[in-house]
Amino acid sequence: MKRLMRLRSSQHLRDLCAETEFNRAQLIQPFFVVEGLAQEEPIPGLRGNVRHNVPSILRQIEKDLEDGVTHFLLFPVPSEKKESGFSHQSTQETISQIRKQFGKSLCLWIDTCLCSYTTHGHCAVLDEHGIKIEKTLDELAKSAVAFAEAGADGISPSDMMDGRVARIRAALDENGFNLVPVMSYSTKFASNFYGPFRNAADSAPQFGDRRHYQLDVRNRSDALASSVRCAEEGADLLMVKPGLTSLDLIRPIQERTGLQVGAYQVSGEYAGMSLLAEQGLIKFEEALVETWHVFKRAGAQYIITYGARYAKQLGIGR
Ligand code: PBG
């Protein structure tokens, strides 16, 4: 008699039949560096993650490297908010300090967006009529070049302005960074699950929301088109975000573009598990690995997760 349960009956059999495997090299650990921060600050809901200043992030990275993390994603949080004409000096300083101390033992991606920089907290330069797209693209391209000059390994635009990947690619190439890859937040929905992040990055919009530029969760065709557009503009890697609410799109995007697609397990997804665990309702570590396997099963090549630094202790191999 056919019994599907037979192959689930021991750990050895389950491991023999396991279809999804991944390693720590495919996990990316985000971190926040806040300019001028006097001391580390906790981030509500984000277990194991704090807001850093430069000395504290250098200590954290040292520890993370020991814990087998190799990919990091920096979110720079400047102290001064402006309308436009943003300065990247302090972020360049952060990047070069990290580079100086750790060399090429890590791969350092930099999130490229304006929402932590603008007075209004939107991801674009605005005027009284709304988004100034060309000005925004100029600012994004300028920041990407500044980050690459300081030693970034990769640029990760998260702003969702049409045309930004092309503009960033062209600016990097013109400045001699033609081998610096762009990992684009290519299918990024307007979402409630970014809440904890916006506290950490001090980037909540001061009016309105991000529906003018982030995707509508009801639209599959626009979600696919957005990644296709990023691929056409020259993105090297694509991404869906939030991860758990975009699982259905990962394979179709991969098949349509031929590019690898990652999943961002965003702050609200991660905090959901942290808070459930605080209430004694789930086992945090097991839940975390469970979700990572689901991303892999859905076709994700890499995963951005606030829990990457736990992977080694959870038995995830190299
Ligand atoms: C910046 C940006 C956001 C996230 C990554 N880059 C917030 C947003 O779009 O509002 C969210 C990440 C997270 O929630 O973990 N645009």
List the chain pLDDT tens, one digit each, 318 residues: 999 999 999 999 998 999 988 899 999 999 999 999 999 999 999 999 999 999 999 999 999 999 999 999 999 999 999 999 999 999 999 999 999 999 999 999 999 999 999 999 999 999 999 999 999 999 999 999 999 999 999 999 999 999 999 999 999 999 999 999 999 999 999 999 999 999 999 899 999 999 999 999 999 999 999 999 999 999 999 999 999 999 999 999 999 999 999 999 999 999 999 999 999 999 999 999 999 999 999 999 999 999 999 999 999 998
Q: Is residue 57 part of a domain?
A: yes
CATH (domain of 222): 3.20.20.70
Q: Is residue 233 part of a domain?
A: yes
Q: Is 241 one of the catalytic residues?
A: yes
Whose alpha carbon is nearest atom 5 of ligand 1? 158
Q: Is 135 one of the catalytic residues?
A: no
Q: Is residue 240 part of a domain?
A: yes
Whose alpha carbon is nearest atom 6 of ligand 1? 158
- Domains contained in the chain, number: 1
Ligand 1 cavity residues, CB under 6 Å: 111, 113, 115, 123, 158-159, 194, 197-198, 210, 266-267
Counting ligand 1 atoms within 8 A of each CB, the residue from 116, 194, 206, 273 with the most, and so the one to mutate, is 194
Catalytic pick from 188, 283, 296, 312? Answer: 188
Rounded to the nearest whole angstrom, what is the distance from the C-alpha of residue 3 to the centroid of ligand 1? 45
Q: Is residue 317 part of a domain?
A: no
Q: Is residue 315 part of a domain?
A: no
Counting ligand 1 atoms within 8 A of each CB, the residue from 113, 159, 239 with the most, and so the one to mutate, is 113
Whose alpha carbon is nearest atom 14 of ligand 1? 194
Can you read off the two tokens belonging to residue 119?
A: 């007075």
Q: Is residue 82 part of a domain?
A: yes
**Containing structural domain, residue 64:** 4-310
Of all atoms in ligand 1, which is nearest to the CA of residue 193?
14
Q: Is residue 189 part of a domain?
A: yes
Q: Is residue 303 part of a domain?
A: yes
Whose alpha carbon is nearest atom 11 of ligand 1? 194
Catalytic pick from 63, 135, 142, 241? Answer: 241
